[in-house]
Amino acid sequence: MLGVLRCPNCSAPIEQAHAGRSVCPYCGVTLVDTAAPALRAVRLEEVGAHKYKLIAVLRDHVKLSLGDAKRLIETAPGIIAEGMEERLALALVAALEGAGARASVR
Ligand SMILES: [Zn+2]
């Protein structure tokens, strides 16, 4: 599933680390794997009329506590999730919009 990354400095094969960053174990060069998914943030723009649906979506997708989900909704607009893979961020936006909110991927 993961492609083999090679050090551009010494050509050694590199194990892929989390968040697309690795350090070459042979020469110590820091590498950024361009094949790694870009990490996104999701911004809640407008809460809409269905706050309780929205809380359910937040708890389900972002694994928030009830209190944290309520607080994010009360302080909207604002970033509600960071460091998400793009496909997960897009799924979250779709779920938020399904609950009557407006949201965007950053
Ligand atoms: Zn190297």
CB atoms within 10 A of CB 97: 13
CA of 22 to the centre of ligand 1 (A): 10
The reported pLDDT for the residue numbered 37 is 66
- 97's tokens: 């919009």
CA of 44 to the centre of ligand 1 (A): 42
The reported pLDDT for the residue numbered 3 is 60
Read out DSSP for 54-97? HHHHHHHHH---HHHHHHHHHT-SEEEEEEEEHHHHHHHHHHHH
Ion ligand 1 — residues with CB < 5 Å? 7, 9-10, 12, 24, 26-27, 29
CA of 42 to the centre of ligand 1 (A): 35
Q: Would you say residue 24 has pLDDT above 90?
A: no
What are the pLDDT digits (tens) for 32-89? 666 666 789 999 999 999 999 999 999 998 888 999 999 999 999 999 999 888 889 9
Most trustworthy range by pLDDT among 12-21, 30-39, 95-104 = 95-104
CA of 14 to the centre of ligand 1 (A): 8
